[in-house]
């Protein structure tokens, strides 16, 4: 009987697993536009937050560079999903080789293994081919796509049980 309590106490004392979740993770968001990755046309200031309840990022214009600026966006990160929407303004993203978002998650191991657009809830013309995973970074290319209050993008991630540091 006592052994059961000892095992339970040890389990409670070990570091928490992310449990296949992004919650509690540090993440940095940048917008990035380039035709040549070595010469970005626009790279926004990075914003870093800890993933929790509610909207993590609400970015807006930072000032025009090369005739480009950040499109107002809101990004919510759920345990294994990213939702992107545009509450103000409407238009079309500049049609560069890459024009979009880079989300870099802090982790000492592979945090996610795949990313897929959820076509059932996505209203933007974005597909899995517009997503790129590099280590713990997710690149979301929206170049040439329309944005506005009706535009919504939902991305499901295959999140691993990487230890939450």
Residues of the chain with pLDDT > 70, as a percent, come to: 87
Beta-carbon count within 10 A of 47 CB: 14
The whole-number pLDDT of residue 94 equals: 95
pTM comes to: 0.86
Band (14; pLDDT cuts 50, 70, 90): very low
Predicted confidence (pLDDT) at residue 93 exceeds the cutoff of 90 = yes
Q: What is the average per-residue pLDDT within 132-145?
A: 96
**Least confident piece of the model among 17-26, 125-134, 135-144:** 17-26
Contact 101, 121 (CB under 8 A): no
What confidence tens digit (pLDDT) does each residue in 25-80 have?
999 999 999 999 999 999 999 999 999 999 999 999 899 888 999 999 999 999 99
Residue matched to tokens 């499901």: 156
Element holding 13 (H helix, E strand): helix 2-13
Q: Where are the domains of the chain?
A: 17-159
Predicted confidence (pLDDT) at residue 159 exceeds the cutoff of 90 = yes
The whole-number pLDDT of residue 162 equals: 83
Closest C-alpha among 86, 69, 55, 56 to residue 153: 86
The whole-number pLDDT of residue 108 equals: 86
Q: What is the average per-residue pLDDT within 87-115?
A: 93
Residue matched to tokens 């070595």: 38
Q: What is the average per-residue pLDDT within 130-159?
A: 96
What CA–CA distance (Å, rounded) separates 119 from 11? 39
The whole-number pLDDT of residue 109 equals: 87
Predicted confidence (pLDDT) at residue 2 exceeds the cutoff of 80 = no
Is residue 33 packed enough to be buried (19+ CB in 10 Å), middle (13-18) or exposed (0-12)?
A: buried
């Amino acid at each position: 009987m006592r052994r059961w309590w000892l095992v339970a106490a040890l389990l409670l004392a070990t570091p928490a697993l992310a449990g296949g979740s992004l919650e509690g993770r540090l993440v940095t968001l940048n917008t990035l536009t380039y035709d040549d990755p070595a010469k970005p046309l626009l790279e926004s200031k990075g914003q870093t937050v800890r993933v929790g309840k509610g909207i993590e990022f609400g970015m807006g214009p930072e000032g025009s560079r090369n005739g480009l600026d950040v499109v107002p966006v809101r990004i919510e990160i759920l345990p294994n999903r990213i939702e992107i929407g545009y509450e103000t303004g409407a238009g079309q993203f500049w049609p560069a080789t890459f024009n979009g978002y880079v989300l870099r998650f802090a982790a000492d191991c592979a945090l996610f293994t795949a990313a897929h657009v959820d076509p059932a809830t996505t209203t933007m013309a974005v597909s899995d081919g517009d997503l790129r995973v590099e280590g713990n970074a997710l690149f979301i290319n929206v170049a040439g796509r329309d944005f506005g209050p009706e535009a919504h993008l939902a991305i499901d991630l295959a999140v691993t049980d990487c230890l939450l540091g």
